Structure 1
């Protein structure tokens, strides 16, 4: 998969923006001593950060503490502005599982200075993405479970019912503030259990029987 494509079933889809939602699970916010937000906390990743299934993960040489963050990922199939929450799920083309890889030491230094997080979030292979399952096969995105295993050991378990901002609310918010277009990806936030990865680690992700993927760290 090229750096600018997502895989929806057997189809390649050009990726537009990559929106990410931070602090969307209370337990994860607590483990990093972050406050809960009154509205979705949004940051962006460049498309050059995308890594398809099986692509080797490269840790940036400017960080010594890169963390995994396992997340439900959405692919927008129909763009729009000011999308109503009641219609938001109609704009989703597919659902998958992914990793928001984060250089935690770099992020912490940036936050302490009031600087943006892009250097911590946007390096090559920082946005891992499985093959996406068509949205028609997902009855309710708020009733999904997912997990991440590192070298076979369970590291993160997620329940989308615990999201502080559910999928429809995220889509409505992003459409109102930024506008959405076909091909945009949305990383919806990670549950607790984030931790550092090391060279040679094997990361295995599953999404409720709908998607799975594996990555190995160089």
Structure 2
């Protein structure tokens, strides 16, 4: 499943995660974000990582009720996944700092309670495979961001909640926080 998020979806740690006023909650999905550093098209899985400039910790926020309604109607998920503030991201981590992309621990807490805790070694598709597959259909450009998928534990957040998320690997121990507002 591939979908896109518009530029207005991205926020950084210094910004609040805002739930649109018509919705009661969103669902969190912690993911490794892969930042492309050069244009690529039709590349092999083996070439995939050579097109990576670095990584970010990312949240794929989803309006699950909207997504379920859209699925029932066989409609695209853009509204459920691409609304403003739907992709909070952390600081850029150069690829040299995360050399073991296949062994990164990702975790997420809501109001101090652990909700997601997984490792990239358990992903269905490797980062190289994801880049290769996407590049067959979409030319990847400098600065494009690919989210890799989420571990189990996806769940709701509401206004007033605080999300804390992190990644750990190769001596990198990075944490970010977002407040959920309306």
Match of 2:119 among 142, 147, 159: 159
Distance 2:25 2:157 in 1: 8
Per the alignment, residue 129 of structure 2 pairs with 169
Match of 1:197 among 136, 144, 157: 157
Distance 1:140 1:47 in 2: 29
Instruction: Give the drift of 1:83.
Output: 1.2
Per the alignment, residue 54 of structure 1 pairs with 14
Per the alignment, residue 23 of structure 2 pairs with 63
Q: In the comparison of the two structures, how many residue pairs are matched?
A: 178
TM-score, reference length from structure 1: 0.79
SS of residue matched to 1:66 = strand
Distance 1:71 1:137 in 2: 17
Structure 2 residue 42 is matched with structure 1 residue 82: yes
SS of residue matched to 1:43 = coil
Distance 2:25 2:37 in 1: 35
After superposing the two structures, state which structure 1 stretch, 78-87 or 114-123, moved more: 78-87
Superposed, 1:200-211 pairs within 5 Å as: 200-208=160-168, 209-211=172-174
Match of 1:215 among 165, 168, 178: 178
Match of 2:95 among 125, 132, 135: 135
Q: Is residue 74–residue 186 contact of structure 1 (8 Å, CA) maintained in 2?
A: yes
Q: Is residue 144–residue 159 contact of structure 1 (8 Å, CA) maintained in 2?
A: yes
TM-score, reference length from structure 2: 0.94
SS of residue matched to 1:116 = coil
Instruction: Give the drift of 1:76.
Output: 0.5
Unaligned runs of 5+ in 2: none
Instruction: Give the drift of 1:77.
Output: 0.5
Per the alignment, residue 20 of structure 1 pairs with none
Q: Is residue 104–residue 121 contact of structure 2 (8 Å, CA) maintained in 1?
A: yes
Distance 2:141 2:129 in 1: 16
Distance 2:133 2:173 in 1: 26
Distance 2:5 2:54 in 1: 19
Distance 1:147 1:214 in 2: 12
